[in-house]
Structures are given as structure tokens and as C-alpha cells.
């Protein structure tokens, strides 16, 4: 039984005609002409077509003044979240100082007065919130 050759034999000339192109060579007929043809792809995104004006997106920059030092009472502040100038809402909150006062009262022997610092706002920190959007603005440590 004779083996069939699956690939026909080619002469050297035929082999060179079917070979892939040499990548080191340049072919001028394959180079794109630059006369009258606009660039394509990502480069064309920033180039306006003749007769059209480029459309610019408006940029809004709002200069928000810094929040002034906060005190124990409500104050007028420009909120960085909602950009409104409103009075703050003050919510007292127990802090380390509040717990220390309670501990001192307990150690001194005034155990019945331990809860007093938790009811007196001067022993607590004052947290300021925006009255419009409720955003936290800062704390006044007493």
C-alpha cells in the first residue's frame, strides 16, 4: 500500500509566491494617503470636523467659604453639602469629659449625683448639623 501525500510538492518558485510577506519591507501602495483623508479612531475624537464648532461643557465651580469656628450655640454657616447658608442645629453629646465628671463624683462619694453630668449640656460636646440637609458640620469641645 502506497502512502498518499496529503501535501502536494511545490517547486521553489511556487513556494516563494505563496510565502507570507517580509515584515521588514514597506509597500508604498499599502500606506494610507494623508491628502484629504481625516485620521480615524481615537485621534478623531478631539478634532472638530470643518464647519462645526467644538462643544465645550460648562464647568461650575462653587467657592464655599470654610466653616467658621463653632461654639456652644447655633451659628450661621454655609453648608458644604447643600451649599445653603443656614443656622446650625446643635445636639449635645456625652464625651470623655462627661464620663470623667461622673467618675469623679462617684469616687468623691456623691454616687447619687453621678447622673448630673449627663443632664448638663456644659459637660457635653456640641455637635453642629445643617438645618437644611442634616449634614454633620463639626463639634465644639467644651
User: Which one is predicted more confidently, 12 or 65?
Assistant: 65
pLDDT in tens, 30-56: 555 555 555 555 445 555 566 666 677
Q: Which helix (H) or strand (E) holds 15?
A: helix 12-17
Q: What does residue 109 show for φ and ψ, rounded to 5 degrees?
A: 110, 5
In degrees, rounded to 5, the angle at the alpha carbon of residue 39 between the alpha carbons of residues 38 and 41 is: 130
Q: What is the pLDDT of residue 10?
A: 59
Of the two residues 45 and 98, the one the predictor is more confident about is 98
**pLDDT band at residue 141 using 50, 70 and 90 as cut-offs:** confident
What integer pLDDT is reported at residue 42 of this predicted model?
46
The model carries a pTM of 0.52
130 pLDDT exceeds 60? yes
Question: What value, to the nearest 5°, has the Cα angle with vertex 78 and ends 72 and 82?
Answer: 115
Boundaries of every domain in the chain? 76-140
Distance CA 138, CA 128 (A): 5
Amino acid at each position: 500500500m502506497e502512502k498518499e501525500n496529503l501535501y502536494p510538492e511545490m517547486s521553489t518558485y511556487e513556494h516563494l509566491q505563496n510565502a507570507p510577506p517580509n515584515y521588514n519591507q514597506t509597500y508604498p501602495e499599502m500606506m494610507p494617503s494623508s491628502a484629504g483623508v481625516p485620521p480615524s479612531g481615537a485621534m478623531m475624537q478631539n478634532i472638530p470636523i470643518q464647519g462645526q464648532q467644538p462643544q465645550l461643557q460648562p464647568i461650575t465651580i462653587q467657592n464655599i467659604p470654610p466653616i467658621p469656628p463653632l461654639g456652644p450655640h447655633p451659628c450661621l454657616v454655609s453648608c458644604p453639602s447643600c451649599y445653603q447658608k443656614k443656622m446650625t442645629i446643635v445636639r449635645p453629646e456625652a464625651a470623655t469629659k462627661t464620663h470623667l465628671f461622673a467618675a469623679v463624683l462617684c469616687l468623691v462619694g456623691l454616687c447619687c449625683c453621678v447622673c448630673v453630668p449627663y443632664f448638663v449640656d456644659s459637660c457635653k460636646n456640641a455637635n453642629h448639623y445643617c438645618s437644611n440637609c442634616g449634614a454633620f458640620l463639626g463639634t465644639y469641645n467644651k
